[in-house]
Amino acid sequence: MRAFRIFVCAILTIGIPAAMAEPGPLNGPNPLGDLQSQLDSLVGRIETLENNAPSPSVEGRSYCEMATITILRGFENTATELVETAVSRRLATFSGGSFTSTVVSAGANGQNGAGVVINVADVGGQDISGTYTQTGRQLNIDLSIGRSEVWYVSADGSVIYNNSIHFFGPFPNTLTFGFVRSTTFVESDSCEGA
């Protein structure tokens, strides 16, 4: 019985490697070759995605800029006030550290101290320009009118957002003045009027 066991072990030791099929080439028409082709394709797609990763850079881009401004005016000596709301659309471009923002459309309305809604002269219809520096997703803007602002850019650079609040006065005629501005830039080559 012991001899039989030794004989079976010897046959298995010699015969198993011969009975096992050799794997086909990794680039051949077999399951391993198909798997290798899929892995090679995946590596190529990953490299393409990494090379085309989104950038927050605004350089060379154009945006449709949409702004809403609420303006508060009050005269203490006459106890009168005016609340105005202005909206504007502009085409904004960033190039070489400079930007321009050209008006496409603008309009405004207001409500006086008596509660009457009135038409208001356009307060958003001026072209603006300035310079910018960008650090990551932050834009530091120096406007040509002498004011500086900080704007924020989305991770892929397709959206810019900023808002601000300001107060001025009282002036000699007892006027106090404040405004709140909220602006969104959406990447676009054009900007239709509202």
Parent domain of 177? 62-187
pLDDT of residue 10: 55
Q: How many domains does the chain have?
A: 2
| Mean pLDDT for the chain overall | 84
Does one domain contain both 36 and 75?
no
Match 């066991």 to its residue by tokens: 5
Q: In 3-state terms, the chain is what percent helix, strand and coil (to 5)?
A: 20, 45, 35
104-118 pLDDT per residue, tens = 988 889 998 888 898
**Residue 192: inside a domain:** no
> Which ranges in the chain belong to alpha helices (H)?
2-19, 31-51
pLDDT of residue 189: 92
Does one domain contain both 101 and 180?
yes
pLDDT of residue 93: 97
Does one domain contain both 40 and 71?
no
Q: Which of 19-33, 56-70, 86-100 is the least confident region?
A: 19-33
pLDDT-derived band at 11 (thresholds 50, 70, 90) equals low
Q: What is the pTM of this model?
A: 0.70
Does one domain contain both 76 and 96?
yes
Per DSSP bridges, beta strands 148-153 and 159-168 are antiparallel
62-84 pLDDT per residue, tens = 999 999 999 999 988 888 888 99
Token pair, residue 16, equals 């198993």
Does one domain contain both 6 and 68?
no
pLDDT beyond 50 at 19: no
pLDDT of residue 26: 59
pLDDT of residue 77: 87
pLDDT of residue 27: 62
157-181 pLDDT per residue, tens = 999 999 999 998 888 888 999 999 9
**Residue 17: inside a domain:** yes
Query: What is the b/e burial string over 19-46, where b = at least 16 CB atoms within 10 angstroms of the residue's CB?
Result: eeeeeeeeeeeeeeeeeeeeeeeeeeee
